[in-house]
Structure 1
Amino acid sequence: MDPGTTLAIAVPAAVLGAAGFGLASAAQQRATKEVELAPTLSPRLLVDLTKRPMWLIGLVATIGALVLQLVALAFGPLAVVQPLLVTGVAFAAVFTALMSRRRPDLLTMLGALFCAAGLSMFLLLARPVAVGPDTDIDIASGMPLAIGLAVVAVGCLIYASIVTHPSRVLALALSTGILYGVTAGLMKVVTGQLRIGLDEPFRHPVLYVVCIIGPIGFLLSQNTFQQGRLVSPAVAVITSADPVVGVLVGVSWIGERIDTSPAHLAGAAIGAAVVVAGIALICARGTYLLHRLDESEQMPGAQRIRMAPS
Structure 2
Amino acid sequence: MDSGTALVIAVPAAVLGAAGFGLASAAQQRATHEVAVAPTLSPRLIVELLARPMWLLGLVATIVALALQIVALAFGPLAVVQPLLVTGVAFASVFAALMNGRRPDALILLGALLCAAGLSAFLLLARPTEGSTDGEFNLMAGLPLAIALAVLVLGCVFYAATVEHSSRVLALALATGVLYGVTAGLMKVITGQLRVGLDEPFRHPVLYVVCIIGPMGFLLSQNTFQAGQLVAPAVAVITSVDPVIGVLIGVSWLGERLDSSPSLLMGQYLAAAVVIGSIALIAVRGHHLLQRREILADRPLVMRRGAGPVAR
Q: Shorter-normalised TM-score: what interval?
A: over 0.9
SS of match in other structure, 2:140? helix
Q: How far, CA to CA, are the matches of 1:120 and 1:105 in structure 2? A: 23
SS of match in other structure, 2:84? helix
Q: How far, CA to CA, are the matches of 2:19 and 2:215 in structure 1? A: 22
SS of match in other structure, 1:272? helix
Paired position in structure 2 for 1:26: 26
Q: Alpha-carbon deviations, 1:158-182, whole Å to 9, x = none?
A: 1111111100110000000000000
Displacement of 1:196 in angstroms is 2.3
Letter in 2 for 1:161: A
Note closer, same or farther for the CA distance 1:255–1:304 as it changes in structure 2 (3 Å cut): farther
How many corresponding residue pairs?
305
Q: How far, CA to CA, are the matches of 2:27 and 2:81 in structure 1? A: 23
Paired position in structure 1 for 2:207: 207
Alignment map for 1:200-239 (pairs within 5 Å): 200-239=200-239
Displacement of 1:294 in angstroms is 0.2
Q: Alpha-carbon deviations, 1:39-68, whole Å to 9, x = none?
A: 000000000000000000000000111111
Runs of 4+ in 1 over 6 A off after TM superposition: none
SS of match in other structure, 1:141? coil
Displacement of 1:284 in angstroms is 1.2
Letter in 1 for 2:56: L
Q: How far, CA to CA, are the matches of 1:19 and 1:237 in structure 2? A: 17
TM-score, reference length from structure 2:
0.95
TM-score, reference length from structure 1:
0.96
Alignment map for 1:133-212 (pairs within 5 Å): 133-212=133-212
Alignment map for 1:224-263 (pairs within 5 Å): 224-263=224-263
SS of match in other structure, 1:164? coil
**Counterpart check, 1:63 vs 2:71:** no
CA contact (8 A) 1:134 1:254 kept: no
Identity %: 71
Q: CA RMSD in A?
A: 1.2
Paired position in structure 2 for 1:291: 291
Displacement of 1:133 in angstroms is 2.1
Paired position in structure 2 for 1:106: 106
Note closer, same or farther for the CA distance 1:204–1:8 as it changes in structure 2 (3 Å cut): same
Q: How far, CA to CA, are the matches of 2:90 and 2:163 in structure 1? A: 28
Paired position in structure 2 for 1:72: 72
Paired position in structure 2 for 1:280: 280
Displacement of 1:136 in angstroms is 2.3
CA contact (8 A) 1:126 1:259 kept: yes
CA contact (8 A) 2:131 2:250 kept: no
SS of match in other structure, 1:39? coil
For structure 1, the 5+ residue unaligned runs are: 306-310
**Counterpart check, 1:12 vs 2:24:** no
SS of match in other structure, 1:41? coil
Q: How far, CA to CA, are the matches of 2:37 and 2:181 in structure 1? A: 26
SS of match in other structure, 1:140? coil
Paired position in structure 2 for 1:308: none
Displacement of 1:303 in angstroms is 3.7
Q: Alpha-carbon deviations, 1:114-163, whole Å to 9, x = none?
A: 11011011100111111332402211100011011111111111111111
CA contact (8 A) 2:134 2:196 kept: no
Displacement of 1:230 in angstroms is 2.0
Q: Alpha-carbon deviations, 1:70-118, whole Å to 9, x = none?
A: 1100000000000000000000000001101111111101000111011
Q: How far, CA to CA, are the matches of 2:131 and 2:250 in structure 1? A: 11
Displacement of 1:197 in angstroms is 2.2
